[in-house]
A and B are shown apart, each in its own frame.
Chain A
Amino acid sequence: MTAPPSESAPSSHAPSPHAKPRPRMSPDSKPFWDGCRRHELLLPTCEDCGRAHLPPGPVCPFCFSDRLAWKKASGRGRISTFVVVHKEWFPAFKPDLPYNVVQVELEEGPRLTANLVGHGGRKPVIGEAVRIVFDTIDDTLTMPRFEPA
């Protein structure tokens, strides 16, 4: 599962006050982020028990098999919970306040944390069906978010 480190992968996750934090792309998670750049949601999936999981790791957390492969997921899921953040924890998020953070349970099982977009600013709803959208930040980073399905 471990891919060789990429020289071009942004490694800094220490945000400057002017920029939003960037994800740390580790050797284990690089295939996930590479998939996002191609607008594909890839999940580490066990070839023995068939279940997908996050975060990526050396073995399947359900059956401890090491026969893992990255498989394309549907990008569909439901909002399992959310929070509306009012406090300015990161200066770069100040213009967005208050903003939502949703937790999405994907059809394949794993959860992802992201933002709900394209919903007209209303509050997210628990149980709401959503689908993935890919937000291109720059040449090296595309972030998955979700919109109402």
Chain B
Amino acid sequence: MAQARAAVVGVGTTAYGRLPEYDAYDLGMWALTEALKDAGLGFADLDGIIVNRIPDYQRFCEIAGIDPSFVTITPGHGRFAAICIEMALQAVLSGRCRTVALVYGNNGRSAGAAYGGESDSYGSGGGAIWWPYGMTSPGAFHAMMMRSHMAQYGTKPEHLAELAMTFRDHAGLNPQAVMRKPFTLDDYMNARMIAEPLRLLDYCLINDGGVALIITTAEHARDCARPPVHIRGAALQTVFANSMFPPEDYWHGAVASVTGRSFREAGLGRDDMQALMIYDNFTPTVMFSLEGAGYCGRGESGPFVAEGHLRLGRRYPTNTSGGHLSESYMQGWALNVEAVRQLRGDCGDRQVSDAANVHYIAAAPVCSSIVYSRDPS
């Protein structure tokens, strides 16, 4: 079995919700301060920093008063959580950096962020050529995929409802979650249509918030305040050609590829996972991820979810924080933090018993898979 060489040693999150007095820098700094405290490290210990969605890296480092040897800034696309983690791994594993901070700050709710119409830049922005037909928003893009999946495999709105209700029930156990009140199948079916077949409760929650992670080598991780959570495997796969159209395989090939590569690197498999964190900008993305990663057969995600396997206490508790649908849309970052907290046993009422390995998956034009483990091998 492969020996882990890198680990997450600190995680930090802000409150989520409507926080108009904070901008993205403030939120990122709040999260980073928490993450450093968690790790038992100080600002001066950072020699690498990767900022995401915060407008400017220089300003952020100036506020922190740090001069890291490595810095970069990445676009505020959810797929970039895993890309940033991959960059941090490369930095510490190559020996170029010792301790890298990844900092995400999002004031989208207070800033009135919208993901359709004239501000629609989903993916490459290439889909803007369909605006003259009224085609806009990542939600409509995923609605097209779900409509096709329904026709091809018989997936039903009731299946999506069970997924959304599961994550809401998990959020009810998470004091940090923005939406904690359970809802029923009737509530789901009666919620307003946005991009049919997707309804309001199929959509994530745009909020203000910040998230930070501290990544270092396994060797240095032993000196930190909390038990390290090891990154045992990670992989990325882009799907850019023809990406102004929804992928006809629902990203199955790319998710299967990243899952396989990250599992091989980890020396682990699906049977070894105690929980899943799946990027849930919309309910269908979770369905496609489950199929691509092989947790259910191709086209079988609807019935699989309806059987309740993703609920706490069942085989693959998924998005135990409530995820983007019910905790807050922190673009993959908070799901990675939830993986770490589950493996440290920090999750209180929503703790998965004896969690040793957690799998993060994101299905998007950049698909990603990360395997987190309590043990280094």
Interface centre among A14, A24, A83 (most CB of B within 10 A): A83
Given contacts A103-B144, A111-B245, contact A83 B195 (CB under 8 A): yes
B55 at the A/B interface (Cβ < 8 Å)?
Answer: no
When chains A and B are docked, how far (Å) is the Cα of A144 from the Cα of B116?
Answer: 23
When chains A and B are docked, how far (Å) is the Cα of A12 from the Cα of B164?
Answer: 40
When chains A and B are docked, how far (Å) is the Cα of A117 from the Cα of B195?
Answer: 19
Given contacts A87-B194, A90-B117, contact A13 B133 (CB under 8 A): no
When chains A and B are docked, how far (Å) is the Cα of A69 from the Cα of B143?
Answer: 34
A22 at the A/B interface (Cβ < 8 Å)?
Answer: yes
B242 at the A/B interface (Cβ < 8 Å)?
Answer: yes
How many A-B contacts at CB < 8 Å in the complex? 97
Q: Collect the chain A residues with CB atoms within 8 Å of residue B147's CB.
A: 81-83, 126
B137 at the A/B interface (Cβ < 8 Å)?
Answer: yes
Q: Contact residue range for chain A?
A: 35 or more
Cross-chain contact B196 with A80 (CB below 8 angstroms): no
Contact of A55 among B129, B135, B192 (CB under 8 A): B129
Contact of B144 among A83, A98, A114, A143 (CB under 8 A): A83
Binary CB contact string for chain A from 40 to 73 against chain B (1 if under 8 A, 0 otherwise): 0000000000000001000001000000000000
Chain A residues 94-149 with CB under 8 Å of chain B are 96, 98-99, 101, 103, 111, 113-115, 126-127, 143, 145
Binary CB contact string for chain A from 1 to 42 against chain B (1 if under 8 A, 0 otherwise): 000000000000111000011111000010000000000000
Q: Collect the chain B residues with CB atoms within 8 Å of residue A20's CB.
A: 132, 134
Cross-chain contact A98 with B196 (CB below 8 angstroms): yes
Q: Collect the chain B residues with CB atoms within 8 Å of residue A101's CB.
A: 130, 133-135, 140, 144
Given contacts A22-B132, A80-B148, A114-B133, contact A86 B195 (CB under 8 A): yes
Binary CB contact string for chain B from 172 to 206 against chain A (1 if under 8 A, 0 otherwise): 00000000000000000000111110000000000
Closest-by-CB residue of A relative to B119 is A89
Q: Collect the chain B residues with CB atoms within 8 Å of residue A143's CB.
A: 132-133
Secondary structure at chain A's binding surface: helix, strand, loop or mixed? loop
Q: Collect the chain A residues with CB atoms within 8 Å of residue B44's CB.
A: none
Cross-chain contact A115 with B133 (CB below 8 angstroms): yes
Chain B residues 112-131 with CB under 8 Å of chain A are 116-118, 120, 126, 128-131
Cross-chain contact B116 with A87 (CB below 8 angstroms): yes
Cross-chain contact A15 with B131 (CB below 8 angstroms): yes
Contact of B245 among A89, A103, A115 (CB under 8 A): A103
Closest-by-CB residue of B relative to A96 is B134
Q: Collect the chain A residues with CB atoms within 8 Å of residue B196's CB.
A: 83-86, 98
When chains A and B are docked, how far (Å) is the Cα of A126 from the Cα of B368?
Answer: 30
Q: Collect the chain A residues with CB atoms within 8 Å of residue B193's CB.
A: 84, 86, 98
Q: Collect the chain B residues with CB atoms within 8 Å of residue A85's CB.
A: 134-135, 140, 195-196
When chains A and B are docked, how far (Å) is the Cα of A144 from the Cα of B145?
Answer: 23
Contact of B117 among A83, A89, A103, A127 (CB under 8 A): A89
Cross-chain contact A23 with B129 (CB below 8 angstroms): yes
Q: Collect the chain B residues with CB atoms within 8 Å of residue A111's CB.
A: 245
When chains A and B are docked, how far (Å) is the Cα of A83 from the Cα of B143?
Answer: 6
B246 at the A/B interface (Cβ < 8 Å)?
Answer: yes
Binding site for A on B (CB under 8 A): 116-118, 120, 126, 128-137, 139-140, 143-145, 147-148, 151, 192-196, 241-242, 244-246, 248
A-B contact pairs, 12 of them (CB 8 A): A23-B131, A55-B244, A83-B147, A86-B194, A86-B196, A90-B134, A101-B135, A101-B140, A103-B144, A103-B245, A127-B151, A143-B133
Q: Which 10 A-B pairs have the closest CB atoms?
A: A84-B196, A21-B131, A81-B148, A89-B117, A89-B116, A126-B151, A86-B193, A113-B130, A83-B143, A101-B135
7 further contact pairs, Cβ within 8 A, besides A85-B134, A86-B192, A96-B134: A81-B148, A81-B246, A89-B120, A90-B118, A111-B245, A113-B135, A145-B133
